[in-house]
Amino acid sequence: MFACINQDRLQFIKTQQPRLQITMLNGIEDALSTNDDCVDLNQLGQHIILPSSYLGGPRDMYQRYLDGMAIAQHFKKIDIFLTMTANPNWPEIQRELLPGQTVADCPDLVSQVFNLTSSSSSNK
């Protein structure tokens, strides 16, 4: 279900590129900002620029970073800026999977283990 919704959102973004008024310069800048000296601009294909409203895209992540920095600047004395990630290969996750299951089959399990791990880390 998520994949269908995500595909619809991407298709909408693709068809609305001219209306979003994203210039080609942004696409070229994005391609060159990969820090890859071997970028062949002839092999880049058609660029679809994901707006910051597309959750998980690079512009969304950058916007979230800027929001976090703005909050830190507002409160002035931030002692720690903590970011946490989950690893699907954690033993706690792997031992709960049934035979033949993958982590992609159980996003609820990954979420629950992450929440328990992050809450136990924050209580220390």
pLDDT digits (tens, 9 = 90+) for 63-105: 999 998 888 888 877 777 677 788 888 888 898 888 988 888 8
Q: Where are the domains of the chain?
A: 1-35+45-49, 52-78, 91-122
Q: Residue 23: is its pLDDT beyond 60?
A: no
Q: Residue 24: is its pLDDT beyond 60?
A: no
Residue partners of 117: CB distance under 8 A and separation at least 6? 84, 86, 90, 92
Number of other CB atoms surrounding residue 35 within 10 Å? 6
**CB 44, CB 28: distance < 8 Å:** no
Higher pLDDT, 86 or 123: 86
Higher pLDDT, 64 or 122: 64
Q: What is the pLDDT of residue 109?
A: 87
